[in-house]
Chains A and B, each alone.
Chain A
Amino acid sequence: MTMTEENETITMQEEEQIHSWHSQLLRNISKSLHDFRMADRPGKVDMLGKWGLFIPAVASTLIIVLILAFLWFESVPILVDPSGGPGIVVSPTWDPNRDLFGIAIFIVGSLLCAGIAIGLAVPLGIGGAIFLSEFCPMRLRQPIKMIIEMMAAIPSIVYGLWAYLVLVPIIKNNIAPITQSPTNGLSLLAGGLILAIMLLPTVVTISTDALQTVPLSLREASLALGATQSETSRKIVLSAALPGVGAAVVLSLGRAVGETMAVLMVTGNSLQIPYSLFDPTYVMTSIITNQLGYAFVFPLWRSALFAVGLVLLIMSICFTLTAKLFIRWGMKTRGYI
């Protein structure tokens, strides 16, 4: 009995609230209109300006929504077509002439390339970050930081040019003969190496920032207990900065998967799943760059390419989310990042 009464009173209150909310809105609108009419010129500019600024503020949200919507509507044809369907994500055959649009080899190629790059760049980058933030002589720190920031600014096409003209011949002539594997140098290894070089500045910069936010008192406490500098930096500083370093790794993973030009120039672009480091491979960004121009008049082909783009977009959103989670974890457990 009491329950029903309570419910009734609650609905009554809610109705009243809704009613009052409506009238309040009306009152607010009429009040602001009245204010606007009464205001002098600066006041009018102030009120209009606030709403004028609202539109640019939602521009980035609008662009994200538009990108998602357009990639989705462009990939719908292949996702509902009997020859395609969501199974294209695991189907390994890409042959537009026979209407076979499996994009698994591109996903595997991208992940392998990014995996090699991360495997090389993360240990080196964290080592470099520890050196920069803990051991580097003051005189050297600023120049090294500047060079690393400049490396991050070098356009990816220049990295691609260098990799194509220097790294690929080195792999062909000097590295591949060690294992007796025939290759023209355009290989998974070349893609992984150039990606690692491109990721290093990101990893070093973000990790250095994370290491430098660790309070000095932690280091002092560890050193006072008799730990050496290397033990302090490995076991205390690095573990205290772990969320920031994790965010750096995830962000650079996103960059690795999304990198286009340099990888396109050195991975050989052959439609196969690589079985050794010296096999050529095809990554997701390359297939879009190479074929979107031709495929545009073929609905299914074009749609399959946009499905690749959608996979890329979803992956990059996931990486950004994961990095945010790392930062939130850092704020929660450590109070700094």
Chain B
Amino acid sequence: MLKNGESESILYRLYALSGLKDALKSRRHFSDYIFKVILGLVIIIIVSPFFLILFQVAGVGFWQVFGTGPGQGLEFLFTFPGAGLEGGIRNAFVGTVELIVVASAVGIPLSVCGAIYINEYTRPGHVRGIVEFTSDVLAGIPSIVFGAFGFVFLVDFLHIGMGIIAGSLTLAFMMIPTILRTTQEALRAVPMSLREASLALGATKWSTTWNVTLRAAFPGVITGFLLAIGRVMGETAPLIFTAGNSLIVPTELAGPGSWIASMPYTIWAYISDPREYLQVKAHGTALALMIMVLAIDLIANLISRKVTRRLV
């Protein structure tokens, strides 16, 4: 009897907590309640693939990346693969880092200077509209089209040849729209009074831009870099025809010696291979790549949130 009453009270508490009490007041309240429950289920469906993917990739590849045994952990990242592709993924890891560094060295100055020009030196109108529109179009172009363009323009037409230069230039093209638009947003958020104060002190527009405006907008600019780097780090399609593949790190700037491996390409090559240890290596590479990309994305998020909080 007592037990029954206790369970009733727990049930009743649950019933009150779940909002069913209000929901049963009328038909409209009930449909309101059902709507909210369905939306809650929908958000669970939306975020569940993230955990399923993390579970699959980490379930197989965890010990490859974090283990301490032979060929695991840092050794996995920093040994070259052997003739049968066993061993580590140093070629892919170093390759991805080198590609990103060269791509950033080309893409970041181009897009930051472009953003400064259209935000500081042009009025809203034709030039600014054209640049904004083309960078939006560039952001929407499929990555394989960039790959095909890089192949026919850089590799074939300019005779650069497959390798680190062509691959990273293609990635740099893909970075431009992201950095340009984020930098522009950041520059636009800098209050006009800062610029006016600097100009009133007799500084030229050039030194105002570089020493005052850009410095104030710096966190936003950094966010743009990180977002762009995170985006191109996982791209496979542009690299298939422009970077080639290699078992070692590139030793030359042109010719077959400059062919370079990358982590996404390595995952693709290993996952379609029936050999078991290559599947495990593919998972390990995917986990390492995911951790790198997600860490960069998280840092970008943190910076941008801190900045927005300060501005508000």
Interface residues, chain A, with chain B CB atoms under 8 Å away: 42-43, 45-46, 49-50, 52-54, 56-61, 63-64, 66-67, 70-71, 74, 124-125, 127-128, 130-132, 135-136, 144, 146-151, 153-162, 164-166, 197, 200, 204, 228-231, 234, 251, 254-255, 257-261, 265, 285, 288-289, 292-293, 296, 305-306, 309, 312-313, 316-317, 319-320, 324
Contact = CB atoms under 8 A, between A and B. Distances in A.
Interface stretch (B68-76, B83-91, B146-154, B185-193): B146-154
Contacts of B236: 155-157, 260-261
Contacts of A149: 297, 301
Interface in B36-76: 36, 38-40, 42-43, 45-47, 49-50, 52-53, 56-57
Nearest to B49: A197
A20 B121 CA distance: 26
Contacts of B141: 67, 258, 313, 316
B56 to A, nearest CB: 5
A166 to B, nearest CB: 6
A123 to B, nearest CB: 8
B116 interface: yes
10 contacts: A50-B121, A52-B113, A135-B36, A153-B234, A154-B53, A154-B234, A231-B28, A258-B140, A306-B148, A320-B140
A259 B142 CA distance: 7
B234 A158 contact: yes
Given A128-B43, A158-B289, A63 B173 contact: yes
Given A56-B114, A154-B293, A124 B42 contact: yes
Given A74-B152, A158-B267, A150 B50 contact: yes
Contacts of B29: 228
Contact of B264 (A157, A288, A289): A157
A111 to B, nearest CB: 14
Given A128-B43, A151-B47, A316-B145, 19 more contacts: A46-B206, A54-B117, A57-B113, A58-B114, A59-B110, A60-B134, A60-B176, A131-B39, A154-B53, A154-B234, A156-B236, A200-B49, A228-B31, A258-B144, A306-B148, A309-B145, A316-B137, A317-B140, A320-B136
Contacts of B231: 153
B294 A309 contact: no
B152 A260 contact: no
Contacts of B205: 46, 50
B167 to A, nearest CB: 15
B135 interface: yes
A211 to B, nearest CB: 12
A42 B204 contact: yes
A301 to B, nearest CB: 13
A148 B235 CA distance: 19
Nearest to A52: B113
A155 B235 contact: yes
A218 B28 CA distance: 20
A53, A74, A135, A317 — most chain B CB neighbours (10 Å): A53
B114 A57 contact: yes
A249 to B, nearest CB: 14
A interface majority secondary structure: helix
A312 B144 CA distance: 9
B207 A42 contact: yes
Nearest to B174: A63
Contacts of A255: 140
Contacts of A265: 268, 271-272
A166 B52 contact: yes
A57 B289 contact: no
Contact of A150 (B111, B149, B207, B297): B297
A18 to B, nearest CB: 21
Contacts of B39: 127-128, 130-131, 135
Contacts of B153: 66-67, 70
B80 interface: no
A313 B148 CA distance: 11
A260 to B, nearest CB: 4
Contact of B138 (A64, A160, A197, A257): A64
Interface in B239-269: 240-241, 264, 267-268
A106 B135 CA distance: 27
Contacts of A258: 140-145
Contacts of A132: 43
Contacts of A131: 36, 39-40, 42-43
Nearest to B33: A230
A148 B50 CA distance: 8
A297 to B, nearest CB: 11
A157 B268 contact: yes
B282 interface: yes
B249 to A, nearest CB: 21
A272 to B, nearest CB: 21
A324 B39 CA distance: 29
